Structures are given as structure tokens and as C-alpha cells.
Chains A and B, each alone.
Chain A
Amino acid sequence: AQSVTQPDIHITVSEGASLELRCNYSYGATPYLFWYVQSPGQGLQLLLKYFSGDTLVQGIKGFEAEFKRSQSSFNLRKPSVHWSDAAEYFCAVATTTSGTYKYIFGTGTRLKVLA
């Protein structure tokens, strides 16, 4: 069955430090992959997505993610974290059955940023 795993429930980094959030997926075919951010009391906002082509994807707010097929991973990175990046981050995969796309979300990683 298709699944998305985010191994880190909580991550704490200092402001200005680099960040990497891990995401692993399980899906037989080439997946469509997404990273979303959710601030408290807010809906989810798309950071970036991968459908095909270049495996390094640039997103909004200085985020990037790299698709590694051999590792079934789609890790999110940012070279220098800002205090405003504190939020919950969700990795998601869109899988298809009979032409219908279904979105499966990971359980999320909550990011805390220390001043």
C-alpha cells in the first residue's frame, strides 16, 4: 500500500542554521511529491512539488527538495532558517488508480526555531 513516512516528529534548530526534513514514500510507480507548511490555526500552503524532470526542486520561501528514486526519499532543505519558519511541515504523495489521483500525507514534522 502507498504510504508516506516522516521519521522526525519534532526538530529544533537555531535561527540561521541549515535545515533538512526527511520524507520517505512507498509507491510502485513514479510518484508526484509535495511539501506543505501549516502555521498554527492556518490551512496548508504548498512549498514545492515534484512531478518529473530535474530532481532538485526549488520552492517558495527559500526551500528546496531533492527527489532520490533509489532511496524513495524527497527531503526538504533550507540553507538558513528564519524564526518565521517555525511551523508544521507535511510531505505528501499523489498516487493514481484508474486515472484518479489520491493524496496521502505524512504525519508531519513540527519545526521549532531557537533565537
Chain B
Amino acid sequence: EAGVAQSPRYKIIEKRQSVAFWCNPISGHATLYWYQQILGQGPKLLIQFQNNGVVDDSQLPKDRFSAERLKGVDSTLKIQPAKLEDSAVYLCASSSTRSTDTQYFGPGTRLTVL
């Protein structure tokens, strides 16, 4: 069974530029999560999708971050414009139908904002 795929693995941009991350969850998984992991901290949930609907985006900085999950499968997370404090690893995870089912994490995208 293929795992959660993310791309790119690394991205370096300058502040005020825009960037997008892509996630392909495990086939058949209805729930998809985006986390932000700043160095030295635990992952922080940014947004949670159930199929293609948003379940929780309370911690997503909506003035600069956006995410979508078209057709309930792949998802993209965008930052526009980026700030220095957005430097982090962005993790995507997926789980099957129930919210408490095991989350499977992708390898993450390491973003550096200069």
C-alpha cells in the first residue's frame, strides 16, 4: 500500500513570495490533515478535511494561507505572501473515515523563508 506522498520535499523562497505544497493521501482515506511543525515544536494542525469539505481550520492563518482538496483526494496548501516565521516542515496526514482512526503521515515539505 502506497503511503502519503508530498511534494516538493524542500523549498527555499524569499519573504513575500508565494509557495504551494501538494499532498496525495492514501487511497480511500476520507480525512486529510495539514500540520505545521516549527523546529523544536510538535506538529500544529492547520486544517482538516473530510472528503472535500473543511472540518476544522481554526488555526489556519487565513490572511495568507489557503488550502483546497478538490474531488476529495489530492490537496494543496498555499502560502501567499510568505513570512520568515512560516519557515517550518509542513506535514500532510490522512486517515480513513472515522476521525480517531490512525493518521498516516507523509515525509513533509521543509520550507525555508529567507
Contact = CB atoms under 8 A, between A and B. Distances in A.
Interface string B28-66: 000001000000111111001000000110000000000
A90 B42 contact: yes
Given A43-B91, A106-B42, A107-B40, A49 B102 contact: yes
Contacts of A107: 40-42
Contacts of B106: 43
Contacts of A105: 42-44
Contacts of A42: 107-108
Chain B, interface SS category: loop
Contacts of B42: 4, 90, 92, 105-108
Interface in B86-114: 91, 93, 99-100, 102-108
Interface residues of B, number: 22
Chain A, interface SS category: strand
Contacts of B99: 94, 100-101
Contacts of B33: 103
Interface in A2-41: 4, 32, 36, 41
A103 B107 contact: no
Contacts of B44: 105
Contacts of A90: 42-43
Given A105-B42, A105-B43, A107-B40, A94 B107 contact: no
A110 B55 CA distance: 32
Interface of B: 4, 33, 40-45, 48, 55-56, 91, 93, 99-100, 102-108
5 contacts: A42-B108, A43-B105, A44-B93, A45-B105, A100-B48
Interface of A: 4, 32, 36, 41-46, 49, 51, 90, 92, 94, 100-108
